[in-house]
């Protein structure tokens, strides 16, 4: 049973790490503020959430797990709210949203 628990923990930690790496690549590839904010908030929530879940499995039923649950709950509530506040402030200060031009790629619009 301990081996299966270690495998589940390893899978969750690796998946969380991959989310963080892919999100970091997205931060460098995206050129616009709004796209970067989306990549950062998804990376923060998904990557750290999976890692915390893996640590919870490894911790068992203890005070450490309870503290990790509280950190995870705070993360799930604060990360989207912070991303929303950043985007709203940027939009309020006039940062324009760069929309793709459908005719730019040669595709017929409509």
Give tens-digit pLDDT for 23-50.
889 888 988 888 888 888 888 889 999 9
The pLDDT tens digits for 66-91 are: 999 999 999 999 998 999 999 999 88
Structural domain harbouring 44: 2-91
Write a three-state SS string for 9-45: HHHHHHHHHHHHHHHHHHHHHCCCHHHHHHHHHHHHH
Which phi and psi (to 5°) does residue 101 adopt?
A: -90, 115
Specify if 98 maps to a domain. no
Contact in structure between 36 and 45 (CB atoms under 8 Å): no
Specify if 97 maps to a domain. no
Contact in structure between 68 and 55 (CB atoms under 8 Å): yes
Q: Residue 90 and residue 67: Cα distance in Å, rounded?
A: 34
Number of domains the chain contains: 1
pLDDT at 110 over 50: no
Q: Over the chain, what is the mean pLDDT?
A: 86
Specify if 108 maps to a domain. no
Look up the pTM and report it.
Answer: 0.76
Percent of the chain with pLDDT over 90: 44
């Amino acid at each position: 049973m301990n081996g299966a628990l270690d495998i589940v923990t390893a899978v969750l930690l690796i998946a969380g790490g991959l989310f963080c790496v892919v999100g970091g690549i997205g931060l460098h590839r995206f050129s616009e503020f709004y796209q970067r904010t989306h990549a950062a908030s998804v990376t923060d929530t998904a990557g750290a959430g999976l890692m915390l879940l893996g640590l919870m499995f490894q911790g068992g039923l203890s005070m450490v797990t309870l503290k990790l649950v509280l950190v995870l709950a705070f993360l799930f509530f604060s990360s989207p709210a912070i991303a929303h506040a950043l985007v709203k402030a940027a939009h309020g200060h006039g940062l324009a949203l760069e929309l793709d031009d459908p005719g730019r790629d040669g595709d017929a619009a409509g």
